[in-house]
Structure 1
Amino acid sequence: MTGADVEAIERATVAAVAPREALEIGGWLVALNDGTIRRAASAVPLSHKLAADPGVIEQIEAAYAARGLAPAFRVADAPGLQAVRAELARRGYGFEQPTLVKVGGAAGMIAAARGAAAELTQAPDAGWARVFTSEGFDEADGRHRVAALTRSPDAVYGGISEGDLTLAVGVAAFGHGWASVHGMRTDASRRGEGLAGRVLAGLATAAQARGVERIFLQVEEGNAGARSLYRRAGFTQAWRYFYWSR
């Protein structure tokens, strides 16, 4: 990943999860939001080579405090951010939830699908949203994610349905030269049937239609099933990050 790629991916990530407000402070993109989506409520450096500036971190903390929010940071474990991580630790922050940023291509996503690609719409409907609050998913978190992803600018929504029932969904958002995949969910009763792969293929088709081949996504390191799916679709790890909070 080049420095330009890192910045583009971070900007595209924050745009896709549509926080209520975003600021730029001293080389950081600061997403300000309530709710359960941590990418929409944390500050992320726009470079993997950034000095630790206590004054900048204080400004970020003040921005969260002014809005009644707890400060949080999303920091890659890249060597060039070691000083930043040390400064956060010195200030009483701890880290958790290791998450992988993975990159791939539209062609690989299409080739890996087992069955017809998902149908696409320009806006989510009630059936699409229902998957996020179905059995096995946290209802409050699902509502937050549906609301945020509905606000995503320049996005398409993929879904696999049988009759009136939507079984698997996902979103592709476009920006900064990349397509990004978000909100991948499959009804608990239908997992293991290749539905998620078909959703990925549909989203990749939309990317190719726009002339975009490069695609990224993010997945928690402990989610073995999702990582296996993305590996089959040709995604490889670009970097890993942790959330830092008090």
Structure 2
Amino acid sequence: MSAEVEAIERATVAAVSPDAVGAIEGWLLPFDYGTVSRARSAVPLRHAPAAQGTLERIEQGYAAQGLPPMLRLADLECFDGLRAELEARRYRGAKPTLVQTATLRQMQAVAPTGALPAEVDTAPDDAWAALFLGEGFDPVDGAHRVRVLARAQGSLYASVREGGRTVAAGAMAFGHGWASVHGMRTDAAQRGRGLAGRVLAGLAQVALERGFEKVFLQVEAQNDPALALYRRAGFQTRWQYRYWQPSA
């Protein structure tokens, strides 16, 4: 399990391609000046108690970059001591998020019967990026997500297109033996039509052709529509984490 945790966390950071990445023993410290939390939050590479002084070293690392400290910490008993230290320093945990895994063959089967999988490209086009900036999405956050996903090396970009527009999109990164799904978006007016399933199926098809077998993603714990889709695609939760930041 420890090797799997490290592989998933290293792949997660690589997929969001932060401006820089530091490290202390057992932790990655990604540094980024955008809005994508995974690109700017310290994360442990194993589920084990943090060494004494870890929090101070994380705070120093982010201060040296002119960034506020943030930790992405699993809701596990082994981190009880670190969580108590965080709470004593007036940090608060928020945005519970699930790390889920599946096989790519399970994911490929989620497209609606008779529906074609999404088109998959090796670079994002303007229509793909435009979906992140459209109605129903925060345009500033969307622009930052396009930036970090577009600059990751070797990623794939899936699109369902209708009438010259991209109405559903997603991305897939590869690293440390895993494929990973990121940036799932569906036009607000087109939801409920199975378009996201077509995105997953298209990405899975290409990943299988590349010889990958397993896939992970991260989804907010309260995003019920996405959870239902991922459940149909065979995803199961491995652990839950929260983002810890100092209170204002």
Per-residue deviation at 1:238? 0.5
- Amino acid in structure 1 at the alignment position of 2:49: L
Secondary structure of the corresponding residue to residue 116 of structure 2: coil
Secondary structure of the corresponding residue to residue 59 of structure 1: helix
TM-score by length of 1: 0.97
Q: Which residue of 2 aligns with 1:171?
A: 171
Q: Distance in 1 between matches of 2:57 and 2:51?
A: 13
- Amino acid in structure 2 at the alignment position of 1:47: R
Structure 2 residue ranges without an equivalent (≥5):
none
Deviation string, structure 1 residues 60-82 (Cα, Å, up to 9, x no partner):
11111112110000000122222
Q: Which residue of 1 aligns with 2:89?
A: 91
Q: Which residue of 1 aligns with 2:74?
A: 76
Q: Which residue of 2 aligns with 1:226?
A: 226
Q: Which residue of 1 aligns with 2:33?
A: 34
Secondary structure of the corresponding residue to residue 153 of structure 1: coil
CA contact (8 A) 1:172 1:203 kept: yes
Q: Which residue of 1 aligns with 2:58?
A: 60
Secondary structure of the corresponding residue to residue 89 of structure 1: helix
Q: Which residue of 2 aligns with 1:22?
A: 21
Deviation string, structure 1 residues 185-216 (Cα, Å, up to 9, x no partner):
00111100000000000111111011111100
CA contact (8 A) 1:52 1:83 kept: no
Q: Which shifted more, 108-117 or 213-222?
A: 108-117
Secondary structure of the corresponding residue to residue 62 of structure 1: helix
- Amino acid in structure 2 at the alignment position of 1:20: D
Per-residue deviation at 1:26? 1.9
Per-residue deviation at 1:233? 0.6
- Amino acid in structure 1 at the alignment position of 2:17: A
Q: Which residue of 2 aligns with 1:236?
A: 236
Q: Which residue of 2 aligns with 1:142?
A: 142
Deviation string, structure 1 residues 121-158 (Cα, Å, up to 9, x no partner):
01000000010011000000000000000011221100
Q: Which residue of 1 aligns with 2:160?
A: 160
Q: Which residue of 2 aligns with 1:6?
A: 5
Q: Which residue of 2 aligns with 1:106?
A: 104
Per-residue deviation at 1:90? 2.1
CA contact (8 A) 2:110 2:200 kept: no
Q: Which shifted more, 165-174 or 205-214?
A: 205-214
CA contact (8 A) 1:131 1:187 kept: yes
Deviation string, structure 1 residues 40-67 (Cα, Å, up to 9, x no partner):
01000001113342x2221211111112
**How big is the alpha-carbon RMSD for the aligned residues of Structure 1 and Structure 2?**
0.9
Q: Distance in 2 between matches of 1:56 and 1:48?
A: 14
Per-residue deviation at 1:163? 3.1
Q: Distance in 1 between matches of 2:66 and 2:160?
A: 39
Per-residue deviation at 1:162? 1.3
Q: Which residue of 2 aligns with 1:201?
A: 201
Q: Distance in 2 between matches of 1:23 and 1:60?
A: 10
- Amino acid in structure 1 at the alignment position of 2:59: E
CA contact (8 A) 2:35 2:141 kept: yes
- Amino acid in structure 2 at the alignment position of 1:218: Q
Q: Distance in 1 between matches of 2:49 and 2:177?
A: 23
Secondary structure of the corresponding residue to residue 100 of structure 1: strand
CA contact (8 A) 1:157 1:169 kept: yes
Q: Distance in 2 between matches of 1:88 and 1:71?
A: 11
Q: Which residue of 1 aligns with 2:183?
A: 183
- Amino acid in structure 2 at the alignment position of 1:229: L
Q: Distance in 1 between matches of 2:150 and 2:229?
A: 24
Q: Which shifted more, 12-21 or 107-116?
A: 107-116
Secondary structure of the corresponding residue to residue 14 of structure 2: helix
CA contact (8 A) 1:158 1:199 kept: yes
CA contact (8 A) 1:103 1:216 kept: yes
